[in-house]
Amino acid sequence: MSPEALGVDGNVGKKKLAKLQAKAEKRAQREYELAEREERKKREAEQERREEERRRAEDEAEKAAELKAKLEREERERREHEEYLKMKEQFEIGEEGFDQLEEEESENLMRDFVNYVQKTKVVYMDELAKQFKLRTEDALNRLNFFVENGTLSGVFDDRGKFIYITEEEMHAVAKFITQRGRVSVTQLADYSNKLINLEPAA
Protein backbone atom coordinates (compact mmCIF):
# COMPACT_ATOMS: atom_id res chain seq x y z
CA MET A 1 0.00 0.00 0.00
CA SER A 2 1.55 3.38 -1.06
CA PRO A 3 2.13 6.26 1.41
CA GLU A 4 -0.38 8.38 -0.55
CA ALA A 5 -3.07 5.67 -0.11
CA LEU A 6 -2.39 5.80 3.62
CA GLY A 7 -2.84 9.60 3.66
CA VAL A 8 0.84 10.47 4.46
CA ASP A 9 3.50 12.16 2.39
CA GLY A 10 6.34 10.30 0.77
CA ASN A 11 8.93 11.46 3.36
CA VAL A 12 7.67 9.19 6.14
CA GLY A 13 10.19 6.62 7.38
CA LYS A 14 10.04 2.97 6.42
CA LYS A 15 9.25 1.84 9.97
CA LYS A 16 6.41 4.28 10.35
CA LEU A 17 5.10 3.36 6.90
CA ALA A 18 5.13 -0.36 7.78
CA LYS A 19 3.22 0.38 11.01
CA LEU A 20 0.63 2.44 9.15
CA GLN A 21 0.31 -0.24 6.50
CA ALA A 22 -0.24 -2.98 9.14
CA LYS A 23 -2.83 -0.80 10.87
CA ALA A 24 -4.65 -0.13 7.60
CA GLU A 25 -4.60 -3.83 6.71
CA LYS A 26 -5.98 -4.74 10.16
CA ARG A 27 -8.76 -2.18 9.75
CA ALA A 28 -9.53 -3.49 6.25
CA GLN A 29 -9.55 -7.07 7.60
CA ARG A 30 -11.92 -6.06 10.44
CA GLU A 31 -14.24 -4.31 7.98
CA TYR A 32 -14.16 -7.35 5.71
CA GLU A 33 -14.93 -9.71 8.62
CA LEU A 34 -17.71 -7.41 9.83
CA ALA A 35 -19.24 -7.30 6.34
CA GLU A 36 -18.85 -11.09 6.05
CA ARG A 37 -20.54 -11.56 9.45
CA GLU A 38 -23.43 -9.31 8.44
CA GLU A 39 -23.79 -11.19 5.17
CA ARG A 40 -23.79 -14.54 7.01
CA LYS A 41 -26.45 -13.24 9.42
CA LYS A 42 -28.59 -12.18 6.46
CA ARG A 43 -28.17 -15.59 4.81
CA GLU A 44 -29.03 -17.39 8.08
CA ALA A 45 -32.07 -15.16 8.64
CA GLU A 46 -33.24 -15.84 5.08
CA GLN A 47 -32.72 -19.58 5.53
CA GLU A 48 -34.63 -19.47 8.84
CA ARG A 49 -37.47 -17.54 7.18
CA ARG A 50 -37.70 -20.14 4.38
CA GLU A 51 -37.59 -22.98 6.90
CA GLU A 52 -40.39 -21.32 8.90
CA GLU A 53 -42.46 -20.89 5.72
CA ARG A 54 -41.88 -24.55 4.83
CA ARG A 55 -42.93 -25.68 8.33
CA ARG A 56 -46.02 -23.45 8.19
CA ALA A 57 -46.94 -24.81 4.74
CA GLU A 58 -46.51 -28.39 6.03
CA ASP A 59 -48.67 -27.64 9.09
CA GLU A 60 -51.38 -26.11 6.92
CA ALA A 61 -51.27 -29.07 4.50
CA GLU A 62 -51.49 -31.49 7.44
CA LYS A 63 -54.43 -29.60 8.95
CA ALA A 64 -56.17 -29.50 5.55
CA ALA A 65 -55.63 -33.27 5.12
CA GLU A 66 -56.97 -33.93 8.65
CA LEU A 67 -60.01 -31.75 7.99
CA LYS A 68 -60.65 -33.48 4.66
CA ALA A 69 -60.36 -36.93 6.29
CA LYS A 70 -62.69 -35.82 9.11
CA LEU A 71 -65.29 -34.48 6.64
CA GLU A 72 -65.06 -37.67 4.55
CA ARG A 73 -65.45 -39.81 7.69
CA GLU A 74 -68.47 -37.77 8.84
CA GLU A 75 -70.02 -37.99 5.35
CA ARG A 76 -69.44 -41.77 5.26
CA GLU A 77 -70.94 -42.17 8.75
CA ARG A 78 -73.91 -40.01 7.72
CA ARG A 79 -74.51 -42.14 4.60
CA GLU A 80 -74.15 -45.37 6.57
CA HIS A 81 -76.61 -44.08 9.17
CA GLU A 82 -79.10 -43.09 6.44
CA GLU A 83 -78.74 -46.54 4.84
CA TYR A 84 -79.25 -48.17 8.22
CA LEU A 85 -82.42 -46.11 8.88
CA LYS A 86 -83.72 -46.91 5.40
CA MET A 87 -83.05 -50.60 5.89
CA LYS A 88 -84.61 -50.55 9.36
CA GLU A 89 -87.66 -48.77 7.98
CA GLN A 90 -88.10 -51.56 5.42
CA PHE A 91 -88.39 -54.04 8.27
CA GLU A 92 -90.85 -51.96 10.29
CA ILE A 93 -93.78 -51.79 7.87
CA GLY A 94 -96.73 -53.24 9.76
CA GLU A 95 -99.12 -53.90 6.87
CA GLU A 96 -96.62 -56.26 5.22
CA GLY A 97 -96.69 -58.87 7.94
CA PHE A 98 -94.76 -57.23 10.79
CA ASP A 99 -96.10 -55.13 13.65
CA GLN A 100 -94.13 -52.03 14.55
CA LEU A 101 -90.97 -53.52 15.98
CA GLU A 102 -88.66 -52.33 18.68
CA GLU A 103 -85.22 -51.34 17.44
CA GLU A 104 -83.54 -54.49 18.78
CA GLU A 105 -86.19 -56.74 17.20
CA SER A 106 -85.79 -54.89 13.90
CA GLU A 107 -82.01 -55.39 13.96
CA ASN A 108 -82.45 -59.08 14.78
CA LEU A 109 -84.86 -59.46 11.88
CA MET A 110 -82.44 -57.83 9.46
CA ARG A 111 -79.65 -60.09 10.69
CA ASP A 112 -81.92 -63.17 10.38
CA PHE A 113 -82.83 -62.18 6.80
CA VAL A 114 -79.15 -61.87 5.81
CA ASN A 115 -78.18 -65.09 7.64
CA TYR A 116 -81.00 -67.00 5.96
CA VAL A 117 -79.80 -65.96 2.48
CA GLN A 118 -76.16 -66.75 3.31
CA LYS A 119 -76.99 -70.20 4.70
CA THR A 120 -79.54 -71.15 2.03
CA LYS A 121 -77.13 -70.18 -0.82
CA VAL A 122 -79.77 -70.71 -3.58
CA VAL A 123 -82.79 -68.64 -2.58
CA TYR A 124 -86.24 -68.91 -4.15
CA MET A 125 -88.21 -65.67 -3.76
CA ASP A 126 -91.48 -67.33 -2.76
CA GLU A 127 -89.71 -69.36 -0.04
CA LEU A 128 -87.89 -66.24 1.19
CA ALA A 129 -91.20 -64.34 1.33
CA LYS A 130 -92.88 -67.20 3.20
CA GLN A 131 -89.99 -67.46 5.68
CA PHE A 132 -90.37 -63.78 6.66
CA LYS A 133 -94.15 -63.42 6.16
CA LEU A 134 -93.73 -61.01 3.25
CA ARG A 135 -95.15 -60.61 -0.21
CA THR A 136 -92.75 -61.99 -2.85
CA GLU A 137 -92.24 -58.49 -4.28
CA ASP A 138 -91.29 -57.10 -0.85
CA ALA A 139 -88.88 -59.97 -0.21
CA LEU A 140 -87.23 -59.24 -3.56
CA ASN A 141 -87.02 -55.50 -2.77
CA ARG A 142 -85.35 -56.18 0.56
CA LEU A 143 -82.94 -58.65 -0.98
CA ASN A 144 -82.02 -56.06 -3.65
CA PHE A 145 -81.48 -53.50 -0.90
CA PHE A 146 -78.93 -55.73 0.86
CA VAL A 147 -77.18 -56.45 -2.45
CA GLU A 148 -76.99 -52.75 -3.35
CA ASN A 149 -75.48 -51.72 -0.01
CA GLY A 150 -72.92 -54.55 -0.13
CA THR A 151 -74.28 -56.61 2.78
CA LEU A 152 -74.96 -59.53 0.42
CA SER A 153 -73.35 -60.45 -2.88
CA GLY A 154 -74.57 -62.78 -5.56
CA VAL A 155 -76.49 -63.13 -8.84
CA PHE A 156 -80.08 -63.67 -9.95
CA ASP A 157 -80.49 -66.45 -12.50
CA ASP A 158 -82.92 -66.37 -15.42
CA ARG A 159 -85.57 -68.16 -13.34
CA GLY A 160 -85.57 -65.54 -10.59
CA LYS A 161 -83.52 -67.47 -8.04
CA PHE A 162 -80.85 -65.60 -6.09
CA ILE A 163 -77.51 -67.36 -5.71
CA TYR A 164 -75.46 -66.07 -2.79
CA ILE A 165 -71.74 -65.90 -3.61
CA THR A 166 -69.14 -65.29 -0.91
CA GLU A 167 -66.27 -62.87 -1.41
CA GLU A 168 -63.79 -65.78 -1.49
CA GLU A 169 -65.80 -67.49 -4.26
CA MET A 170 -65.89 -64.24 -6.27
CA HIS A 171 -62.10 -63.88 -5.90
CA ALA A 172 -61.64 -67.49 -7.04
CA VAL A 173 -63.72 -66.88 -10.20
CA ALA A 174 -61.89 -63.58 -10.89
CA LYS A 175 -58.52 -65.36 -10.45
CA PHE A 176 -59.59 -68.08 -12.91
CA ILE A 177 -60.53 -65.43 -15.53
CA THR A 178 -57.26 -63.53 -14.98
CA GLN A 179 -55.14 -66.69 -15.29
CA ARG A 180 -56.94 -68.00 -18.40
CA GLY A 181 -57.20 -64.63 -20.18
CA ARG A 182 -59.97 -65.22 -22.73
CA VAL A 183 -62.75 -67.41 -21.33
CA SER A 184 -65.96 -68.51 -23.02
CA VAL A 185 -69.30 -68.30 -21.21
CA THR A 186 -69.49 -72.13 -21.17
CA GLN A 187 -66.01 -72.45 -19.63
CA LEU A 188 -66.88 -69.80 -17.07
CA ALA A 189 -70.14 -71.55 -16.17
CA ASP A 190 -68.42 -74.95 -15.85
CA TYR A 191 -65.60 -73.59 -13.74
CA SER A 192 -67.93 -71.44 -11.60
CA ASN A 193 -69.87 -74.58 -10.69
CA LYS A 194 -66.65 -76.06 -9.29
CA LEU A 195 -65.74 -72.88 -7.40
CA ILE A 196 -69.11 -71.83 -6.05
CA ASN A 197 -70.72 -74.06 -3.43
CA LEU A 198 -74.47 -74.19 -4.05
CA GLU A 199 -75.29 -76.44 -1.11
CA PRO A 200 -77.07 -74.86 1.90
CA ALA A 201 -74.83 -74.35 4.93
CA ALA A 202 -75.27 -76.90 7.66
Q: Over its length of 202 residues, how does the chain's per-residue pLDDT go in tens digits?
A: 555 555 555 566 677 777 878 888 888 899 889 999 999 999 999 999 999 999 998 888 888 888 898 888 888 888 877 776 766 665 554 444 444 445 566 677 888 888 998 888 888 888 988 888 888 888 888 888 888 888 888 887 777 788 888 788 777 777 777 777 776 666 666 665 665 555 555 5
Give the pLDDT confidence score for residue 95 in this predicted structure. Answer: 43
**Do the Cβ atoms of 139 and 128 come closer than 8 Å?**
yes
Give the pLDDT confidence score for residue 106 in this predicted structure. Answer: 67
Cα–Cα distances in angstroms (integers) from residue 111 to residues 99, 108, 119, 133, in the given order: 17, 5, 12, 16
Residue 199, phi-psi category: left (phi > 0), alpha (psi -120 to 50), beta (remainder): beta
Q: Show me where the domains of the chain are located.
A: 16-120, 121-195
Neighbours of 128 (CB within 10 A): 21
Helix, strand, or coil (residue 184): coil
One CATH from 3.40.50.2300, 3.40.640.10, 3.30.300.30, 1.10.10.10 for 121-195 = 1.10.10.10
